[in-house]
Amino acid sequence: MKSLVLIAIALGGLALAQEPVVRITPEQVTWVRDTDGSGVERATISGDPTKPGLYVIQVKFPPGTMSLNHFHPEDRHVTVLKGTWYTGTGDEFLPDKTIPLKPGSYMKHPAGVHHFDGAKDEEVILRIVGLGPTGTTRLRPELGNYKKAVEDPAKAELDRTAKKHIDGICSTCHTATLITDTQATRDEWLDIVMRMNSKGAGLSEIDVQLLTDYLSKNYGKKP
Ligand code: HEC
């Protein structure tokens, strides 16, 4: 830039030295993967976020990945480019209490505000603009940088079925608290569920296994 100005002055013919126009298509973005195993990727579009001055960066979250609570020393202006971004504030990590922002949305993270956010069902790409130098302070660094925000959808579906059985079948003869107050090993749960079946719970072989898995996972006891 300086040399351009010098050339311009030297030539005397140019009133103003002009910087070249910059165009970057999505395909030209050079992504760099974080080294923490989270799968989160970053790209610098303009400037240098580690240095004073304006920077433009992009961040890509793989599906189901969210940052744990943190804050930055500078205001950050965030635009969602792709996917639905789930945004939360505060000191607790509560993925279910996040506010979804669709592509085209904007959010300002003011300096110092504690937040957590990321992707749930699909990949998310953000463009972030701020005045460097940036930094990230984790509220609980011992927990790492990111966390899986959604369980395996297939597993979540099994859990839903198990809960449906407990509410619809198991709670017809006694309260659900009789179940949730019990702690048992997997073998003991299998015995209980089989015994309840012989009383008339009427679960199929598959549902007996599914429920036994669910109960021993959530109301388990080490053998
Ligand atoms: C037909 C009525 C009936 C249904 C349906 C039923 N229970 Fe029971 N459950 C009982 C009775 C009666 C008891 C009291 C103990 C007994 O008689 O064995 C009991 C006791 C229990 C207990 C207390 C611990 C124990 O070993 O006795 C647990 C836990 C339990 N049931 C879980 C379940 C689960 C899980 C289901 C759903 C798969 C279920 N029950 C469905 C009638 C039922």
Rounded average pLDDT per 10-residue block, the chain, 223 residues: 55 69 97 94 98 98 95 98 97 94 97 96 95 96 86 76 93 93 96 96 95 93 78
Query: Cα separation of 174 and 169, whole Å?
Result: 10
Residues of the chain with CATH 2.60.120.10: 23-148
Residues of the chain with CATH 1.10.760: 153-218
- Ligand 1 atom nearest 179 alpha carbon: 29
CA of 196 to the centre of ligand 1 (A): 5
CA of 187 to the centre of ligand 1 (A): 16
**Which residue's C-alpha comes closest to atom 33 of ligand 1?**
170
Residue 178 in contact with ligand 1 by CB distance below 6 A: yes
8 Å CB contact between 214 and 151: no
Residue whose entry in the numeric block shows the structure tokens 């302070």 = 137
User: What pLDDT, on a 0 to 100 scale, did the predictor assign at position 159?
Assistant: 85
Residue 162 in contact with ligand 1 by CB distance below 6 A: no
Residue 201 in contact with ligand 1 by CB distance below 6 A: yes
Architecture of domain 153-218: Orthogonal Bundle (1.10)
Residue 200 in contact with ligand 1 by CB distance below 6 A: yes
Query: Cα separation of 87 and 60, whole Å?
Result: 14
| Domain 23-148 CATH superfamily | Jelly Rolls (2.60.120.10)
Query: Cα separation of 105 and 85, whole Å?
Result: 9
User: What pLDDT, on a 0 to 100 scale, did the predictor assign at position 151?
Assistant: 63
Q: Tell me the helices (H) and strands (E) count for the chain, helix number first.
A: 5, 13
CA of 181 to the centre of ligand 1 (A): 12
pTM score over 0.75:
no
